[in-house]
Chain A
Amino acid sequence: MKLAGRSLTPGSGEGPVAVVPPLSFWGGYDPETGTIIDRHHQAHGRSLAGVVLVMPSGRGSSSSSTVLAEAIRLGTAPSAIVLAEPDPILVVGAMVAEELYGRRCPIVVLAQADYARVVSAVRAEVVADSAAASVTIA
């Protein structure tokens, strides 16, 4: 099934779907190991490297921009991020990583009904241009 969404940052990526509650990358994600290190987070210890990260919204400190950019630099970032609400902090991290390292991490926003479909998917492929995006789920 192919779902239409809004592109926050362009790029393409695919991988297994990882659905997690809102995560603050700063203090919550270790870009060296690519795992969730926030002990209070439900998915503590889980790796997000190469997955299509699905979460309702971003959360927490603006320093998350740097942590996401570091993770993209080190190859430990999700291959794409699917949100139900736009998050400016993650957008800035992904944009900076593209400029500095030439690596893209597309971030897209889906309407609530389509977001719910992705939550129950196993794999997803995200393709985003400068305005529109599609999420193909299986």
Chain B
Amino acid sequence: MIRLDDHDRALLDGSRGAATAFAMRLLVRYGEAVGAPHFIDITRAHIDGCLYHGEASLDFAEHVLRLGGKVRVPTTLNVGSMDLIHPELFRGAPALGSAGRRLMEVHEALGCISSFTCAPYQTLFRPMLGEQIAWAESNAIVFANSVIGARTARYGDFIDLAAALTGRVPYAGLHVPENRQATVVFTVPAAVAAWPADALAVAVGSLVGERAGNEITAITGLPGGLSEDDLKALGAVGASSGAMAMFHAVGLTPEAPDVEAATGGVEPAVVEALSEADLTAAIGRLSTARPGMPVSAIALGTPHFSLAEFGRLMPLIDGFRRAPSVDLYVNTARDTHAELAARGWLARLEAAGFTLVVDTCTYVTSVMREISGVVMTNSGKWAHYAPGNLGIDVAFGSLEECMASAAAGRVVRRRP
């Protein structure tokens, strides 16, 4: 049985409200299933229950609201089914749209912050090194653990809101320092150092995700110039192709100044050299389309494009003309969108033909106008999920290849 202290018992016995008691009952059962010895406090939460998956999603949130639920820690929200800033973009069934919108509104009524982004680490609510948090959304979990060094287990449906309503989580998984040590080491060959950084990060993340299962990995040999956005892309695709919840990029991420620190000095069970051929093949598996095929859209921003990524995109739209048949989409957070407007970038992006999608994402909801041809993306995560979710052909490429393809109207490759 998981040990309860006086505070836990007060949360459980109804004296802090019926919603809190219900949440704590869920957490106790969850904690027993994961074999946790006791609970710990969290400082913040991130919830992905605001994306509509069916009636149970909405029934749960409405039930918690009726019980008087309020979150006890600063709680950010993941993407929903609707772009509430641009609702006219929604092309799905009206009933689905209104249920999706209601689910987002109920979470706001529970006291959550209207961030509606899968990249809460790009907001003011970014945690710090060593902070104990309860985050849902696979890319956010891997980013928090790996790139920031905050500590979250893999939370998801229902239990994320339960953690936010109580401020407590079972002490288990990646909350525990010993569980954060790498048991598998992958080495990246020097031959790929000249690849575009975004494509290299996706190749490595995709392959490591496929091969590592649930294990915590240390990756050596990544170029020192990889940006935070490249590490974001690495984790996002690794959590899609596999079950990556944390990686150490040796020399780049805070808990891995060297291999010894990443493994805790314990001899790793597996050391595996990735070859250039392996990485090229991993990139190949992210495309169902062939070079030269007609492109109907470009999808950027999965996870949500950061301001720094827009900073890389802006020079590429100088003198750029999209082929008339190609739609251009970028997903981003509403806060980033406001900053784009303030900088005058939004008007330039729209003049170049970009549709900015906020609060949601082009692979989880119906916003894209025309998907009869290939959709090209620089997101490994988008490339992984969109063929199944949307029934389309996809081509993965670097940001430069995406823009060149948008101009040409067909899939253009810069690299062999």
Residues of A within 8 A of B (CB): 8-9, 31, 61-67, 69-70, 73, 86-89, 91-93, 95-97, 99-101, 131
Contacts and interface: CB of A to CB of B under 8 A. Distances in A.
Main SS class of interface, A: helix
B29 A66 contact: no
Interface string B59-99: 11001000000000000000000000000000000000000
A96 B55 contact: no
Interface string B181-205: 0000000000000000000000000
B159 to A, nearest CB: 5
A27 to B, nearest CB: 8
A95 B54 contact: no
B154 interface: yes
Interface string B36-60: 0000000000000000011111011
B63 A62 contact: no
A62 B157 contact: yes
B211 interface: no
7 contacts: A62-B136, A63-B157, A66-B56, A88-B33, A89-B156, A92-B30, A93-B157
Nearest to A109: B33
Nearest to B30: A88
Contacts of A97: 56
A100 B33 contact: no
A8 B25 CA distance: 12
B55 A86 contact: no
Given A69-B158, A97-B56, 5 more contacts: A65-B159, A86-B34, A96-B56, A96-B158, A100-B60
B156 A61 contact: yes
B274 interface: no
Contact of B56 (A9, A61, A73, A89): A73
A122 to B, nearest CB: 28
Contact of B29 (A62, A91, A101): A91
A99 B22 contact: yes
Contacts of B26: 92, 95-96
Contacts, number: 76
B177 interface: no
Nearest to B22: A99
Interface residues of B, number: 25
Q: Which of B22, B26, B35 has the most CB of A within 10 A?
A: B26
Contacts of A65: 156-159
B129 to A, nearest CB: 25
Contacts of A100: 56, 59-60, 63
Nearest to A58: B33
Sorted from nearest, which 8 A-B pairs have the closest CB atoms?
A62-B156, A65-B157, A88-B33, A69-B56, A86-B33, A66-B53, A70-B56, A66-B157
Given A9-B29, A92-B26, A86 B35 contact: yes
A62 B154 contact: yes
B305 interface: no
Contact of A92 (B1, B53, B63, B157): B157
A89 B136 CA distance: 13
Given A66-B56, A100-B59, A95 B157 contact: no
A67 B60 CA distance: 13
A92 B159 CA distance: 7
A95 B29 contact: yes
A86 to B, nearest CB: 4
B8 to A, nearest CB: 17
A101 B59 CA distance: 9
A8 B157 contact: no
A9 B157 CA distance: 17
B32 interface: yes
A116 to B, nearest CB: 22
A88 B32 CA distance: 8
Contacts of B34: 86, 88
Interface string B248-283: 000000000000000000000000000000000000
A73 B58 CA distance: 13
Nearest to A26: B53
Contacts of A69: 56, 60, 158
B49 to A, nearest CB: 8
Contacts of B63: 99-100
Contacts of B382: none
Q: Which of A67, A73, A89, A101 has the most CB of B within 10 A?
A: A89
